[in-house]
Amino acid sequence: MSSIATWERPHWKPGGTRRTRQHFIAFFADACPDFEVHAAEDGLPEGDPLLGFELEAYSNASWIAGWGAGPLGVFLDDAEGVDATAVRQARAAMGACAGKTDGRTLAGLQGGMALCRGFARAGALAVLDVVALRWWSAEALLALAPDRPFDIGEHISLTYETAPEHPEVGNFCHTRGLAKFARPDLGIYGATPGDAGALLSAVASAMARGLDPADGETTRVAGGEVWHFKAHPDDSGIPSPLFFNTWLELVKGPRALLG
C-alpha cells in the first residue's frame, strides 16, 4: 500500500469529453539507459498511475537537436541548473506520452512526474515538459519531495510579453500546460507581471483541481475584482501557435456589463 496521498480534484464534475495530455522528453549524453520508478521514492500514489504512458527512445541527431533551437532554445538557455550546451549535444532521448480521460484525481500527473524523476536518477541531462514548454534540471526533479502537496507552479509555465504585440490592449500574460488537466489555457491583457501572474496562477490552480469555466462565466479571486472568461479556439493549426490548445481570456468585469 502506497504512503503517497493522491492529488484530488475537489471541483471536478463528471461528464467531460476532453482528455488530458502529458508529454515529457529526457535527454541523455549517450544511449538511453535502463531506469526504474519507485513508488515511495518517486511519489506514486495507490492504483496504477503509470497506466497509459507510452515510452519511446530516440537517437536521430537532428530530431534531438531541434528541441534546443528556436523559442524552445531560448527557454533552454534560461533554464536554471541546465547545461544547455550538453543538452544540445545529447545523442539520445526518451519520450513519455499519455492521454487520459478527464478524471476525479491527478494520479496520472503524479505518474508523469515520477517518470521524470526516474529519468533524472538514470542520468538525464534535462527533461522537457513539452506541454508546458518547461525545462527541468535533474537536480530540480530529484529535489521534489515524494509526498509533496499539489502545486500548480510545478506543472504550468507563465509567459509575459515585455514588448506587446498589440499595444492598444497592453502586455499579454498567459499560461502553458493546462492541457495536462484537460482544460483551456489562460491569458490576460494589460496587467502588470505580478498582478497577472497571481491571477492566472490562482485561476489555473482551481482549474487543475477540476473547475471548468465556460465562455461568459465569471470568477472572483480571493474576494477581489470580478472577471469573466472569453473563450478562444484551439490555435494548434495557425502559424506560431502559443498554446496548442484552446484558451480563455480573463476580462475585467461581468460580460453583461460590457455590452
Q: What is the pLDDT of residues 101-132, one digit of tens each?
A: 999 999 999 999 999 999 999 999 999 999 99
Query: Which candidate, 251, 239, 71, 255, places its Cα nearest to that of 170?
Result: 251
Q: What pLDDT shows up at residue 29?
A: 97
Q: What pLDDT shows up at residue 38?
A: 92
Mean pLDDT (whole number) for 81-108: 97
53-84 per-position pLDDT tens digit? 999 999 999 999 999 999 899 999 999 999 99
User: Helical H runs in 102-180?
Assistant: 107-121, 138-142
Residue 162 binned pLDDT confidence (cut-offs 50, 70, 90):
confident
- For the chain, the C-alpha Rg in angstroms (whole number) is 19
Q: How far apart are CA 223 and CA 209, in angstroms?
A: 19
Cell numbers for 88, please give them: 544540445
pTM of the model: 0.94
Mean pLDDT (whole number) for 134-158: 97
222-235 per-position pLDDT tens digit? 778 899 999 999 99
Cell numbers for 148, please give them: 509533496
Q: What pLDDT shows up at residue 191?
A: 86
Q: What pLDDT shows up at residue 24?
A: 98
Q: What pLDDT shows up at residue 1?
A: 64
184-239 per-position pLDDT tens digit? 999 999 988 889 999 999 999 999 999 999 999 999 887 788 999 999 999 998 98
